[in-house]
Amino acid sequence: MAETCMELFEKRQLAAVASVEQCCSTGMTAEGRTPKSIVEEMVPLLDDRTLSTSDKLRIVALYVLYRDGVPDEDRRRLYQHAKLALHEMDAVKNLIHLAANVTKDSGEKKKQLFKQTLDENAYDISRF
């Protein structure tokens, strides 16, 4: 059974997905730094045909929340990489009903609300 779980873990690239999700959720890398290359880590996952649409949708939604909104053109590119259907794009747009910013001008900066300290005992994919 452990072997089957490990095969699924590797097939679905859950380590890479979890790393991106954790960076977006916590606003820091496993080392406690601000993520600088989150898009470079995300795009190959969004382009991957073996990754489920729900995983791709979750990654895009978390990124939009992490950035406190994304310019329309950037969001459109993410949708294209993920090959999201219209109803899935609407799901991201509907984050506004949860008081989240989905769109922002390219010149806006994200203000940091708080800085969390790094727990030395935390696992890389379970920081949230």
Residues 88-117: pLDDT tens digits? 999 999 999 999 999 987 665 555 555 556
Taking only the tens place, the pLDDT of each residue in 14-54 is 999 999 999 999 999 888 899 899 999 999 999 999 999 99
Structural domains of the chain, ranges and CATH numbers in brackets: 2-24+37-98 (1.25.40.60)
Taking the CB of residue 60, how many other CB atoms lie within 10 A of it?
Answer: 24
Whole-model pTM: value is 0.80
HSE-up (13 A, CA, CB side) for residue 14: 10
CA atoms 24, 25, 29, 34: torsion sign: positive
* Phi, psi angle pair for 118, to nearest 5°: -85, 130
d(CA 69, CA 108): 9
